[in-house]
Amino acid sequence: CQLDKWAKAAGLKYFGTAVDNPSLNNAAYMKIARDKDEFGQITPANGQKWSNTESGQGRFSYGSGDAIANVAKQTGQLLRCHTLVWYNQLPSWVSSSFSRDQMQRVITTHIQNVAGHYKGQCYAWDVVNEAFEDDGKFRQSPMYRAMGIDYITHSFKTAAATDPSARLYYNDFNIERCCNAKINATLAMLKTVIAAGAPVHGVGMQGHSRVGKSPSKPELKNTMAAFSLLVEEVAYTEVDIRHTKLPTSAADREQQARDYLEVVGACLETPKCIGITVWDYTDQYSWIPGQYPGEGEACLWDKSFNKKPAYTSIISMF
Ligand code: XIL
């Protein structure tokens, strides 16, 4: 049995993985990434971000995003599109000194072009990513500085008008474990923008966490229950559970397997949880060692494409 087959049999819509452009040339990697029984869904790890799609104002380029989207087209895997409006990997021309009107026009143009280019191809779009600091305050992004919370409402409305068939998500990290200031701020924001007419269909919980410190199933379920009151679906969109000490022991890897099971179990027991995406499936291409030096081995397969206990325990849960 394989992950997506297993997930569908258990009632989910998909089990997926992020795929980044450099790995497209690795045949061993792609054999597994394209295996629809393993991954029914893929997400471009970088290709559709603002810095890739509109690096200069009004200059759009889709090569990196298309390379991943084309894999999904060929295999029939669902494509989660990621992401339209984010403070990070944002080109510097999107400036904090824009007026409200300028920023609104810049966001409109960006979304109309990018979501327009991928129209009909995206199961879901992460329309807005990471709007909050961990303490629940709005991030002082150029978008927030110019427009306040209205940048979120405007982004969702524009995405809906551009690609009416995509499920539109708000996506963030550290909103998995109930309850904290960031989750409360996210709930309040969602109420406000939905009341203002923004079609928010889903909340994506990224799901980056650390072995032994990862949220428990009840904590995860409580959060999803709260989001489920406001939106039609929720999903884990970028799961990886990293070891903070390397190298790992067999016991560490068993702990990691138990931590993954909490996430998978929580999703299975939440009616509106539709799927789980890992932020790449192999330690060979994980972003973790680059982002958190000295940490890693966060994925379901090791660097040499061997399945880890976390993989086998997910499958054996069924
Ligand atoms: C990461 C990519 O995996 C890296 O390759 C890149 O250098 C930085 O971004 N939250 C997100 C993702 O929403 O887009 C990030 O992806 C990981 C954190």
Give residue-wise pLDDT tens across range 65-116. Answer: 999 999 999 999 999 999 999 999 999 999 989 999 999 999 999 999 999 9
Query: ipTM of the assembly?
Result: 0.99
Residue 278 CB-half CA count within 13 A = 28
Quickly state the pLDDT bin for 316 (edges 50, 70, 90): confident
Show the domain range for 106. Answer: 3-317
Kindly give the pairing relationship between strand 208-210 and strand 167-172.
Answer: unpaired
Q: Is 162 in the pocket of ligand 1 (CB under 6 A)?
A: no
Q: Which ligand 1 atom is the nearest neighbour of the CA of 86?
A: 13
Provide the whole-model pTM.
Answer: 0.98
Residue nearest (by alpha carbon) to ligand 1 atom 4: 287
Q: Which ligand 1 atom is the nearest neighbour of the CA of 126?
A: 13
Q: Is 238 in the pocket of ligand 1 (CB under 6 A)?
A: yes
Quickly state the pLDDT bin for 318 (edges 50, 70, 90): low
Query: What is the percent of the chain with per-residue pLDDT over 70, rounded to a whole number?
Result: 100
* Residue pLDDT, tens place only, 118-171: 999 999 999 999 999 999 999 999 999 999 999 999 999 999 999 999 999 999
Query: Is 295 among the residues known to form the active site?
Result: no
Q: Is 84 in the pocket of ligand 1 (CB under 6 A)?
A: no
CATH of the domain at 220: 3.20.20.80
| pLDDT at 34 > cutoff 80 | yes
Number of domains comprising the chain: 1
- With a CB cutoff of 8 Å and minimum separation 6, the contacts of 244 are 210, 211, 294, 295
Please give the distance, rounded to the nearest whole angstrom, from the Cα atom of residue 310 to the centre of ligand 1. 22
Task: Say how far apart CA 32 and CA 296 lie, in whole Å.
Answer: 21
- With a CB cutoff of 8 Å and minimum separation 6, the contacts of 307 are 300, 301
Among 21, 236, 287, which is best to mutate for testing ligand 1, by the most ligand atoms less than 8 A from CB?
287
Q: Is 46 in the pocket of ligand 1 (CB under 6 A)?
A: yes
Instruction: Give the start-end residues of each E strand in 202-262.
Output: 202-205, 208-210, 233-242
Please give the distance, rounded to the nearest whole angstrom, from the Cα atom of residue 318 to the centre of ligand 1. 30
Please give the distance, rounded to the nearest whole angstrom, from the Cα atom of residue 275 to the centre of ligand 1. 19
Task: Say how far apart CA 12 and CA 223 lie, in whole Å.
Answer: 18
Task: Find the largest Cα–Cα distance for the chain.
Answer: 56
Query: Is 238 among the residues known to form the active site?
Result: yes
Task: Say how far apart CA 314 and CA 262 lie, in whole Å.
Answer: 10
Contact present, 136 and 182 (Cβ < 8 Å): yes
Tokens (6 digits) for 39: 């991954």
Please give the distance, rounded to the nearest whole angstrom, from the Cα atom of residue 76 to the centre of ligand 1. 24
Return the pLDDT at 189: 98
Ramachandran assignment for 209, one of left (phi > 0), alpha (psi -120 to 50 degrees), beta (any other):
beta
